[in-house]
Structures are given as structure tokens and as C-alpha cells.
Amino acid sequence: MASNIKTIKKLQMAINSTCEYKMLYQTTQFYSTRQKRPVTKYILKKAQYNPNTGRAESEEVFSTYSQLQIIMYLRDYWCAVQGIPIPTDNEIWNAIKERDNITFKDVMKHE
């Protein structure tokens, strides 16, 4: 799990060093009485400076209960930002992207 967080932070830093806006990685938890344990949700937000308010405003772009999906999202997003082909080597992730209509175009607009 620690290596997943390191990978997430490296991808986040790479994206943030090249984009006008910044990606934020957050976690939140709730207690599941059915599972009898805390459950963690992982959230990616895009923060961008708003000159009208003088502050950075953020909007959620992706959330999941899987750190691996966060890594796959950031990996694919990094490729999209760099203009290189997005890998299609993970069938499960490809199915999730298709199911949830993940294209990165909405995130990349306003750049």
C-alpha cells in the first residue's frame, strides 16, 4: 500500500509540474456496518486559479475505492497530457473507463 501512495504522489507531481492546474489527491472514510470496518474512498480533484475570486477552486474529476484505479487514471491522464497514446494493457481498467465514460477531455479543457 505504501508503494501505491508513492506511485500516486509521483504521478501527481509530474502532472502538477507541467499543467496550469493542479491535481489534488484526497481520501475520506466512512464506517460500514455491513462490512464492520472503515472504508476509504480515494478522490482526485482538479484545482485551478480563479482570477475573479483570487483563489484556487477545485472540482472532483474521479473517485473510487481502489488505489490501483487512481494510479491507472493518473497514468492515463499523464499520457493524455503528454500527447502520447494511452495504454490499453489492462482489460479491467479499459472496461471501467468505458463503463464510466472516462475520456480526460473534460479534465483537460480550460488549460
Per-residue pLDDT of the chain (111 residues; tens, 9 = 90+): 678 999 999 999 999 999 888 999 999 999 999 999 999 999 999 998 888 998 989 999 999 999 999 999 999 999 988 888 999 999 999 999 999 988 877 666 644
The length of the chain is 111
Residue 11 placed within a domain: yes
Residue 14: strand, helix, or coil = helix
Residue 66 placed within a domain: yes
Q: Which pTM was predicted?
A: 0.87
Closest C-alpha among 102, 63, 73, 77 to residue 18:
77
Q: Note down the domain range covering 38.
A: 2-106
What total number of domains does the chain contain? 1
Residue 65 placed within a domain: yes
Residue 25 placed within a domain: yes
Closest C-alpha among 46, 55, 50 to residue 24:
46
How far is Cα 55 from Cα 49, in angstroms, rounded to an integer? 6
The alpha carbons of the chain give a radius of gyration, in whole angstroms, of 15
Residue 111 placed within a domain: no
Are 46 and 20 contacting, i.e. CB atoms less than 8 angstroms apart? no
Residue 33 placed within a domain: yes
